[in-house]
């Protein structure tokens, strides 16, 4: 495979994962995602007492939305985006300093602490099952399989580094982790 083919394959993989993320964010399945949809997640975390201050998370998502609009070729913020817009915009901003250095580290830490219910700095299988149950997924075999996939050193818990690695891999076009965005 030459370099151009490799790049195309990476882009296809990222597009696949971004399509899953879009479907996850489009809660009412109308084919559009607005900045309000992006804020459903931070709002739920605040409502459930998972985070005290959702301002940082909301600001990150707002900025993401604006950058995706621009990346998709719109001169100004749009009321909503289609899946095609979302993927096109995300592919344009995927290697930007902001996404890699600010957005991803910011949200990954928050994700980890919301799944780590007992706050011991590790995610156990029970916590992982709870995370999926909160999304209406009760499939135990699915939980075990995805848990083992993330627990790369096989010690029975997911460390912050293992968790971060999943997002780093997704950013590089590895679509083996799109299960993170599964919902019922």
Residue ranges that bind Ca ion, judged by CB under 5 A: 116, 118, 120, 122, 151, 153, 155
SS (H, E, C) 80-145: CECHHHHHHHHHHHCCCHHHHHHHHHHHHHHHHHHHCCCCCCCECHHHHHHHHHCCCCCCHHHHHH
| Shortest distance, position 163 Cβ to Ca ion, whole Å | 9
Q: Which is nearer to Ca ion, 118 or 149 (CB)?
A: 118
Q: Which is nearer to Ca ion, 61 or 128 (CB)?
A: 128
| Shortest distance, position 165 Cβ to Ca ion, whole Å | 10
SS (H, E, C) 60-83: HHHHHHHHHHHHCCCCCCCCCECH
| Shortest distance, position 183 Cβ to Ca ion, whole Å | 22
Name, in order, each residue with C-beta under 8 angstroms of 100's C-beta and a sequence gap of 6 or more. 171
Q: Which is nearer to Ca ion, 94 or 164 (CB)?
A: 164
| Shortest distance, position 146 Cβ to Ca ion, whole Å | 13
Q: Which is nearer to Ca ion, 10 or 113 (CB)?
A: 113
């Amino acid at each position: 495979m030459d370099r151009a083919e490799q790049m195309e394959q990476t882009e296809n993989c990222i597009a696949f994962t971004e399509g899953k993320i879009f479907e996850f964010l489009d809660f009412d399945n109308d084919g559009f995602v607005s900045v309000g949809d992006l804020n459903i997640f931070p709002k739920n975390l605040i409502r459930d007492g998972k985070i005290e201050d959702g301002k940082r998370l909301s600001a990150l998502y707002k900025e993401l939305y604006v950058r995706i609009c621009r990346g998709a070729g719109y001169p100004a913020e749009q009321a909503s985006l289609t899946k095609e817009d979302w993927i096109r915009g995300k592919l344009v901003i995927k290697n930007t300093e902001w996404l890699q250095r600010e957005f991803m580290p910011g949200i990954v830490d928050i994700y980890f602490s919301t799944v780590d219910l007992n706050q011991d700095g590790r995610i156990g299988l029970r916590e992982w099952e709870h995370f999926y149950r909160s999304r209406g997924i009760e499939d135990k075999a699915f939980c075990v399989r995805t848990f083992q996939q993330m627990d790369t050193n096989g010690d029975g818990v997911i460390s912050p580094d293992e968790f971060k690695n999943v997002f780093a891999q997704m950013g590089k076009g590895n679509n083996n982790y799109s299960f993170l965005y599964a919902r019922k």
